[in-house]
Every structure is written in structure tokens, then in C-alpha cells.
A and B are shown apart, each in its own frame.
Chain A
Amino acid sequence: MTSIGNGLKNYISNQFESLGSNLVYVAPGKIFDDKGRFSNGGGGHFITTSFTQDDISVLKRGLKNTIVFPANQNPVEIKYKNTKKNTTLVGTTVEFGKYRNFLPSENNGRWFTNEENDKKSEVVVLGYQIAQDVFGDINPLNKKIIINGNNLKVIGIVDKKGSSFGGPDLDSFVFIPIKVSNRIVGNDHIQTISIWAENKEDISNIKEEAKKILLSQNYDKEAFSVFDSSQLLSSINTIITALTVALTGIAAISLVVGGIGIMNIMLVTVSERTKEIGLRKAIGANPNAILLQFLIEAVILSCLGGLIGILLGALGTFAISKFFPAQITLSSILLAFGVSSAVGIIFGVAPARKASKLSPIEALRYE
């Protein structure tokens, strides 16, 4: 249970790291409420606002030690030979590749250049998944794909990013120079602005500054959000924590049920071994020795259960890790052992006390 929660948290942190650090995002709509949680009805799915090239210029002038770069996003259909796919066309600049970690690795081509943007060269960089979907085994480099009737040459394939939960599937995006996308989609609206900060410490200042600048550009304060990845991360973590708590609650119920099972088994054991208890007392076992003996037996029993549980959990985690980012941590193993010992002690006390309080004579006579 906890391994699922932990896995999710780590997975999401990694996701954000792979999207670049020291970044501030400006997106349309109100994404967070005042308490930093995701606000209802917010998010980028119902984009009503868009930014302009003018906003970019003002931000660039207003923010020191930063790199500001725009991106527009439009749904399009891409075509290669007979294969057609719906995807999101991202028009952006050279900086996007560098500062958001989208540069193709060696042998996978390259990101486009400033020159290509200025010349409106018809080149395209494909996300990992869309390249797979459209080209399959064929190497997409230097092939031409058709977007809205334009032939674009594939010059690079981005490494796999993995889909972020609830967020866009970046692997299915295609990236082209912004000036080309403006022409293809017929407008120059900008949907997101990324601001890369030279120093991590400046991020909160930059967020404040960016907000002021955009408000001075006559945007309503509800119309846009300025946030950084840590903010996004903490909001998502809040959700996952709630999820983990719920899962732990379910686990706790099964622990109580299991504990009662152990208590039952131990009570039966004590009755079955009444004669043995009587004998041990007759030959000199004091009540504490008997108590300890049955308590240890209960703990061994529950720890064995814990061990089986950990093995099954590991197997289960392994099985679902194919579809879901679950992972086992040392702390969850220790927790499992700790909890099963505790269950053994808590639910073993009653039977062990019963055993230790038996009268030796009656216990010896017991058949």
C-alpha cells in the first residue's frame, strides 16, 4: 500500500526534474487557489487567455538574469504516408529545447536553431511516443511529415519523458519553430511562457515580478497563473498523501483483522497446550517465563505473516510496476516488520496472560 504512494511521489518528482529545473511557468487560467491547492475549474484545459509577443518582450526587459521563452500549443493532425495521428503542435524557440530538457540525445538528431526559426525553415522535432506511433521501426530522421498541408522535415526525436499524471503527454507532442507554427495555425497567440532563472533563490522574486508585469499588461489576475515546479509538485503531493492515508487506512483495517486472527490462534494454542503449561509451571517456570514464551510465539507468528506479506507485496509491486510507478522502500519493509511485531505483541498479550495465570494443578489435570 505504502509502496504505491511512495512510488508515485518519487515518480512525479523525477518527472518534474526531467522537465528542467529553475523554471517558472506562466499559464492561462487560475490553476491554484489561495491555499496552493489546485482550484476547481482551473487548469489549462479550457484556455481562454493567450499571451502575445509583446508580453514576452516586456517580461524579457523586466526580469533580470532570466531567459524568457514562449510556446504555443495547437491540436493538429500529422500525416506520414498513410499514417495519420492527432497530436499537439508546440511552436517554440531554441531555448525551450535547452532549458526544459528537450534536446534530443546523440544519434537522435538535434533541436532546431535560431536561424531555422528566423528563416521559417520547415523542420520538426518529434516527441518519443509520436515518433513510435507514426514511424514504428523506421528511422524518422530526415523523413517528411505533413501538418495542415505543410511538409516538415524531421530533424530530431526527444528522449522518452513519460506521461505526467493528469498533465499533458509530452511524448506525444511535436515541436517546431514558433515562427513556422504561427504561419501553419494562422495566429501568433502564445499559450505558455517559461522563465528560466539563473539562480534558484531568485525564483520567488521572479514569480512576483512576472505577476506585476502581466497585471500591468492589463491581464485580469484570475486570467493567468505564475508558478514553479515545486508549487506544482507540492500540490500533487498533497493529493498523493491523501491517497496514501486512505490506502494506509485500508491496510490498518486488515491489520486489525489479522491481529484478531493471531489472537484466536494463540488462544487455541494456549488451550491445546494447557497440559504443557502446567508441566512447565510444575518444574519451575514462573508466570513471566510462560508469558514471554507465548508472547514470543505470537510475535514469531506475526513476523512470519509479515515476511509473507512483504514477499507478496514485493511480487505485487513488481507486477503492477509495469503499469503503475509503484516501488518498495526500505522504510516500508521496516514498517511492515515493525507493525507485524506490534500486532503480535498487542494481540498476543491476552492469550499469553491467560497462559501465565493458569493454575499448575488444573493445567496438569486438563485433558
Chain B
Amino acid sequence: MTKLSSNKNNSEIILELKDVVKSYNSGGTVFTAIKGANLQIKKGEFVSITGPSGSGKSTLMHIIGLLDNPTSGQVLLEGKDISKLQEHQLANLRNKTLGFVFQQFNLLPKTSALENVTLPLIYSDIPSSKRNDLGIEMLTKVNLLDKLKNTPAQLSGGQQQRVAIARALINNPKIILADEPTGNLDSKSGDEIMEFFHHLNKDEGRTIVFVTHDPDLAKQATRMIVIKDGRIC
């Protein structure tokens, strides 16, 4: 019994950082952005990472998002150490396990909302016949069914971010990572986005990690991680 339950406990930790250090070498001077971070994120959590600018929260996010390698320390995704993985294996994990939402939306210009949403599916070998169905399903979820053919330039900021969220959700990821998701939005659109994250967390049980410099937004999360000078407080 104990063994079983401990297994269950382990499987609940979806992401773990162990003594992660990240330093940059720029022009001979070494700058350490993360000075030994330990962190566990459990399945179904809604976590905010907050701190003043330059505190290293974005760097931390990039390491969690497998976009950047730590200088030392371990990153465990579903218990697996990712430091030994090759570039194409990391790409596959980013594609299937993680969903990204950026401050700048990062939608492809001159490309329709539907094509933007289905972009990750191109890299996960989903046949093109199924891609559009899935894309429409996701855009329905974010209430943009009437904007399928619109390009990002024809959408408001809030709508663009919703397209980006639909794109993040399309591969049914285990974790959604959002970097200042409301940073480029007016407060009303920002609130809508936050509400939608709450809905995803509560009603669909999705694990969400988001970065913000706004303490009020950070407090909305079920757990707040504060980072200062590269250290988790």
C-alpha cells in the first residue's frame, strides 16, 4: 500500500527542478541569473512565478519550458531527467507535453487564426485532414469560431492571445506555460485571459504555470513562487 501511494505521490509531481543554476558568459564576465533553484510542480496546480524585473523569472520559465539548458542541476519532467536529451527529443517534448503562451502572442502574421492554431500539429505528424477539425474545436473553446479565417492583424490583442491559448492547448499538453500572458493587454482583456486560465485549471484540471511581475495577478494562483536575485524565496 505504502509503495503504491508513494508511486502515486511521485507521479503527481509533474515537474521538478533540482539545484538549477543558470549563468551567462557575456564578454568575459559571468552573470548568474538562477542561483540554485529547487522547485516542484504537481499535477493540477496553478502556479505563479513573480518577482521584480531582472530577478530571473523569465530565465526560470525558459528552463521549465525546456527552451534553455541549465548550467548545472537537473530538470525532471514526469520524473525523467531531460538534460541528457537531444535537441529533437526536446522539441518533441515541447510539442506534446508543453503548451506555451507568450506576452507578445507570437502568432505568425499573414496566417489565419486556424492555421496558427494548428501549427504545432504539423510537427506532431497529425494528418492534415484531422488538423482542421482539432483547430476548429480549440477555437470554439476560446470563443473565436467566427474568426477562423482572420489574420492576427484583424484581431484585437485579447483575441490574439486567445488564439495563442488555443494553439497552446491543441496538443493536449500536460503543462501550460505562460510568460506575462496579460502583459500586452488592457485590463479588461487581461481579466478575460486570467478567467480563462482559471477555467482551464478548475474545470479541466490543467497544470498552469505563469510568470508575472504584477503581485495582484500572482495572488490569483493557488501557489505563488517569488524569485529575487535568482533565488526562490
Q: Which of B65, B94, B171 has the most CB of A within 10 A?
A: B94
For residue B155, CB closer than 8 A to chain A, the reply is no
Chain A residues with CB below 8 A from B67, complex form: 281-282, 360-361, 364
Contact across chains for B94 and A275 when beta carbons are under 8 A apart: no
Task: Report A168-193 residues with CB < 8 Å from chain B CB.
Answer: none
Chain B residues with CB below 8 A from A289, complex form: 91, 122-123
Contact across chains for B123 and A283 when beta carbons are under 8 A apart: yes
Q: Which of A275, A276, A281, A282 has the most CB of B within 10 A?
A: A282
User: Contacts A275-B106, A364-B106: A286 and B92 contacting too (C-beta < 8 A)?
Assistant: yes
Chain B residues with CB below 8 A from A276, complex form: 108
- Chain A nearest Cβ from B54, distance in angstroms: 15
> B-side binding surface: helix, strand, loop or mixed?
helix
Q: Which residue of B lies closest to A276 (CB)?
A: B108
- Chain B nearest Cβ from A211, distance in angstroms: 74
For residue B62, CB closer than 8 A to chain A, the reply is yes
Contact across chains for A286 and B87 when beta carbons are under 8 A apart: yes
For residue A346, CB closer than 8 A to chain B, the reply is no
Q: Considering the chains assembled together, what is the distance between the CA atoms of A173 and B145 in angstroms?
A: 83
Contact across chains for A287 and B106 when beta carbons are under 8 A apart: no
Q: Which residue of B lies closest to A360 (CB)?
A: B67
Q: Considering the chains assembled together, what is the distance between the CA atoms of A360 and B96 in angstroms?
A: 17
Chain B residues with CB below 8 A from A79, complex form: none
For residue A233, CB closer than 8 A to chain B, the reply is no
For residue B119, CB closer than 8 A to chain A, the reply is yes
Q: Considering the chains assembled together, what is the distance between the CA atoms of A23 and B124 in angstroms?
A: 71
Please, what's the 1-or-0 string for B70-109, where 1 marks a CB less than 8 Å from any CB in chain A? 0000000000000000011001101110001010001010
User: Contacts A276-B108, A364-B106: A284 and B88 contacting too (C-beta < 8 A)?
Assistant: no
For residue B167, CB closer than 8 A to chain A, the reply is yes
Contact across chains for A283 and B88 when beta carbons are under 8 A apart: no
Chain A residues with CB below 8 A from B100, complex form: 282-283
- Chain A nearest Cβ from B141, distance in angstroms: 18
Contact across chains for B123 and A286 when beta carbons are under 8 A apart: yes
Chain A residues with CB below 8 A from B167, complex form: 283
Chain A residues with CB below 8 A from B171, complex form: 284
Q: Considering the chains assembled together, what is the distance between the CA atoms of A294 and B102 in angstroms?
A: 24
Q: Interface residues of A, CB < 8 Å — how many?
A: 18
Chain A residues with CB below 8 A from B62, complex form: 361
Q: Which residue of B lies closest to A282 (CB)?
A: B100
For residue A280, CB closer than 8 A to chain B, the reply is yes
Chain B residues with CB below 8 A from A360, complex form: 67
Chain B residues with CB below 8 A from A283, complex form: 94-95, 100, 119-120, 123, 167
Please, what's the 1-or-0 string for B179-190, where 1 marks a CB less than 8 Å from any CB in chain A? 000000000000
For residue A285, CB closer than 8 A to chain B, the reply is yes
Task: Report A262-307 residues with CB < 8 Å from chain B CB.
Answer: 275-276, 278-289
Q: Considering the chains assembled together, what is the distance between the CA atoms of A286 and B91 in angstroms?
A: 5
Chain B residues with CB below 8 A from A364, complex form: 67, 102, 106
- Chain B nearest Cβ from A8, distance in angstroms: 48
For residue B68, CB closer than 8 A to chain A, the reply is yes
Contact across chains for B120 and A284 when beta carbons are under 8 A apart: yes
User: Contacts A287-B91, A361-B68: A279 and B106 contacting too (C-beta < 8 A)?
Assistant: yes
User: Contacts A360-B67, A361-B67, A361-B68: A285 and B123 contacting too (C-beta < 8 A)?
Assistant: yes
Chain B residues with CB below 8 A from A287, complex form: 87-88, 91
Chain A residues with CB below 8 A from B65, complex form: 282
Q: Considering the chains assembled together, what is the distance between the CA atoms of A276 and B88 in angstroms?
A: 18
Task: Report B176-226 residues with CB < 8 Å from chain A CB.
Answer: none
Q: Which of A276, A280, A286 has the most CB of B within 10 A?
A: A286
Contact across chains for B87 and A282 when beta carbons are under 8 A apart: no
- Chain B nearest Cβ from A276, distance in angstroms: 6
Contact across chains for A284 and B87 when beta carbons are under 8 A apart: no
Q: Which residue of A lies closest to B106 (CB)?
A: A279
Q: Considering the chains assembled together, what is the distance between the CA atoms of A279 and B167 in angstroms?
A: 12
- Chain A nearest Cβ from B95, distance in angstroms: 2
Contact across chains for A284 and B96 when beta carbons are under 8 A apart: yes
Chain B residues with CB below 8 A from A286, complex form: 87-88, 91-92, 123
Q: Considering the chains assembled together, what is the distance between the CA atoms of A145 and B132 in angstroms?
A: 85
- Chain B nearest Cβ from A295, distance in angstroms: 16
Q: Considering the chains assembled together, what is the distance between the CA atoms of A282 and B64 in angstroms?
A: 12
Chain A residues with CB below 8 A from B94, complex form: 281-284
- Chain B nearest Cβ from A32, distance in angstroms: 65
- Chain B nearest Cβ from A281, distance in angstroms: 7
Task: Report B139-197 residues with CB < 8 Å from chain A CB.
Answer: 167, 171
Closest 3 CB pairs of A and B: A284-B95, A286-B91, A286-B88
Contact sample, A vs B, 11 pairs, CB 8 Å cutoff? A276-B108, A281-B91, A282-B65, A283-B95, A283-B123, A283-B167, A284-B123, A286-B87, A360-B67, A361-B62, A364-B102
Q: A286-B88, A360-B67 are in contact. List 9 more A-B contacts (CB 8 A).
A: A275-B106, A280-B119, A281-B67, A283-B95, A284-B91, A284-B123, A287-B87, A361-B67, A361-B68
